[in-house]
Amino acid sequence: ISYTSIWAQSLITATSFLVMTNANKFVILAVEACGFNAGMTSVQVAGASLSIVGGLLYGQARQEMEQLELKGERSMLLPKTSKSSPALAGA
């Protein structure tokens, strides 16, 4: 385990870290297959592609979920103001 993987684990959830690790392995596999002309069957290519796409979709869904949670937290922290608010009338 490198320093950067320990750092990444502290920033993201365990599930996100596992998805990132697995998607990274398939990216390395694809680079190896293309760069070193290692032959891959169509089933291997389909499996690797499916894994990479799944990792990307998970990352996108996770990011959208975090943005929705952040908007919810902001709306809870910011007071709702109106022109007839008694707190603002005395100011």
Q: What span, in angstroms and rounded, lies between the C-alpha atoms of 39 and 53?
A: 21
- For the chain, state the CA radius of gyration: 23
Given this model, what pLDDT does residue 58 score? 84
Crossing angle for the helix pair 3-11 and 14-35, nearest 10 degrees?
140
Per residue of the chain (91 residues), give pLDDT as tens: 578 778 877 888 887 888 878 777 877 877 877 777 777 788 887 887 888 788 888 888 888 888 887 777 666 555 666 555 555 555 4
Given this model, what pLDDT does residue 51 score? 80
Given this model, what pLDDT does residue 12 score? 80
Q: What span, in angstroms and rounded, lies between the C-alpha atoms of 49 and 27?
A: 9
Q: What span, in angstroms and rounded, lies between the C-alpha atoms of 19 and 61?
A: 12
Structure token digits, residue 5 = 């993987």
